[in-house]
């Protein structure tokens, strides 16, 4: 009994069972066809009773042997077609699969109605008409079923994407390399402001692996950080790797937009150019940088703050510092304050594509006069 419990059906055993099944099916079919061939063809041309007895046995056996010999060819064709269908199904979105299934069923129903109306007249002309009716029915069924599946998959007849009361939080998010390397997506997810599933296309994973294997130390560090972020998302159970790829589309950005369109999802990115392209294509975009800018504290002219001056600015007498959230502060007449800290007064705030910039001046006139001297 222990041997039976430890028994596992591996790929080799499954392949052997499939070969045996094909051999049995084709052998039995060949045997039956050989017997029918003897009854309707061979026996009509044999006058000797001895030959008839011999061919009664030989013809079915020969048919069975031919069937067994043809079984490997049929099995290879069957496996190749099955693998092709499986690859195509993996590239389809759930809505496409559902729409294709509905279209397939509708196509078969239409073909059956055509058979019921039209083929009764054809089959009434005798046995030849019956054979023609069966052949036409098979051809029309295949054509209409294929057409229905194609049209149904393109029209998305059934939507399987869950929509929550919060405005579609269940929609898939397709992530790109910039978001992965950035890493803030993990904190945003853990805070509850963003929900999965997150779709990672295989071509983005390959791109990230190339970055991690780069000879440039900075690129290699960014790539490895991205792989750590993916591991964290996988631990949280929200990451799904998609095998979708498009041979007719060039460039990772264009492929990402195509994936988002096919899946009916949102594109999660930090890339400004990809953001603009996705908007033009009608794809919803979630930009982490825009979220970070939106949640930064509001700073108004006249407010006071304490800032560390770290380097020179582009203009004369300017010093530059940074807030804890990374916002850059340009301090007029702050060059002499580099390396130290000072109390400053906000004069203006500039919102740019890259983020927000704050312009300020030292609070005390003594610092200004000392810098001017």
pLDDT in tens, 258-276: 888 878 788 888 888 888 8
- Span 131-144, average pLDDT: 70
Instruction: Tell me if 166 is assigned to some domain.
Output: no
Q: What is the pLDDT of residue 167?
A: 38
Instruction: Tell me if 299 is assigned to some domain.
Output: no
CB half-sphere exposure, 299, CA atoms < 13 A: 23
- Span 26-46, average pLDDT: 77
Q: For 61-99, write each residue's pLDDT tens digit.
A: 888 898 888 888 877 887 777 677 666 666 666 666 777
Range of the domain at 208: 173-294
User: Do 237 and 343 have their domain in common?
Assistant: no
User: Do 183 and 128 have their domain in common?
Assistant: no
The answer for residues whose C-beta is within 8 angstroms of residue 299's C-beta and 6 or more apart is 305, 346, 349, 358
Number of independent structural domains in the chain: 4
Q: Which of 2-11, 86-95, 252-261, 273-282 has the lowest mean pLDDT?
A: 2-11
Taking 70 as the threshold, does the pLDDT of residue 369 lie above it? Answer: no
Between CA 59 and CA 38 the distance in angstroms is 6
Query: In angstroms, how far is CA 180 from the centroid of its own chain?
Result: 16
Among 62, 90, 118, give the residue marking a domain's end: 90
Instruction: Tell me if 168 is assigned to some domain.
Output: no
More confident residue, 156 or 210: 210
pLDDT band for position 4 (cuts 50, 70, 90): very low
Q: Provide the CATH number for the domain around residue 247.
A: 3.40.50.1010
User: Do 231 and 259 have their domain in common?
Assistant: yes
Instruction: Tell me if 165 is assigned to some domain.
Output: no
Among 294, 322, 354, give the residue marking a domain's end: 294
User: Do 179 and 237 have their domain in common?
Assistant: yes
Residues 115/134, Cβ–Cβ less than 8 Å: no
Q: What is the pLDDT of residue 5?
A: 45
Among 248, 264, 294, give the residue marking a domain's end: 294
Taking 70 as the threshold, does the pLDDT of residue 35 lie above it? Answer: yes
User: Do 276 and 195 have their domain in common?
Assistant: yes
Residues 173/268, Cβ–Cβ less than 8 Å: yes
Q: For 162-188, write each residue's pLDDT tens digit.
A: 443 333 446 788 888 888 888 888 888
Q: What is the pLDDT of residue 164?
A: 39
Give the global pTM.
Answer: 0.47
């Amino acid at each position: 009994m222990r041997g039976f419990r430890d028994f596992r059906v591996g790929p080799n055993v499954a392949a052997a069972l499939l070969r045996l099944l094909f051999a049995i099916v084709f052998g039995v079919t060949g045997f039956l066809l050989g017997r029918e061939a003897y009854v309707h063809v061979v026996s009509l041309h044999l006058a000797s009773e001895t030959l008839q007895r011999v061919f009664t046995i030989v013809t079915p056996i020969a048919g069975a042997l031919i069937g067994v010999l043809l079984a490997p060819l049929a099995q290879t064709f069957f496996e190749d077609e099955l693998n092709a269908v499986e690859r195509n199904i993996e590239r389809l979105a759930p809505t496409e699969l559902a729409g294709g299934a509905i279209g397939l069923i509708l196509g078969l129903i239409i073909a059956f109605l055509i058979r019921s109306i039209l083929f009764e007249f054809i089959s009434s002309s005798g046995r030849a008409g019956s054979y023609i009716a069966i052949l036409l029915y098979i051809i029309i069924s295949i054509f209409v079923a294929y057409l229905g599946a194609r049209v149904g998959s393109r029209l998305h007849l059934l939507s399987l994407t869950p929509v929550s009361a919060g405005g579609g939080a269940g929609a898939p998010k397709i992530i790109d390399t910039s978001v992965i390397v950035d890493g803030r997506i993990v904190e945003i997810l853990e805070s509850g402001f963003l929900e999965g599933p997150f779709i990672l296309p295989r071509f983005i994973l390959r791109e990230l692996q190339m970055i991690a294997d780069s000879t440039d130390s900075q690129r290699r560090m960014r790539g490895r950080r991205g792989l750590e972020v993916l591991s964290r998302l996988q631990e949280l159970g929200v990451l799904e790797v998609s095998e979708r790829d498009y041979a007719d589309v060039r460039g990772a950005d264009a492929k990402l937009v195509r994936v988002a369109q096919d899946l009916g999802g949102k594109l999660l990115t930090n890339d400004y150019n990809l953001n603009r392209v996705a908007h033009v294509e009608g794809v919803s975009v979630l930009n982490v940088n825009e979220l970070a800018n939106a949640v930064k504290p509001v700073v108004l002219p006249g407010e006071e703050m304490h800032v560390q001056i770290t380097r020179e600015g582009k203009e004369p007498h300017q010093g530059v510092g940074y807030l804890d959230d990374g916002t850059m502060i340009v301090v007029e007449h702050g060059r002499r304050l580099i390396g130290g800290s000072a109390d400053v007064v906000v004069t203006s705030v500039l919102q740019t594509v890259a983020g927000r910039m704050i312009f300020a001046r030292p609070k005390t006139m003594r610092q200004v006069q000392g810098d001017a001297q």
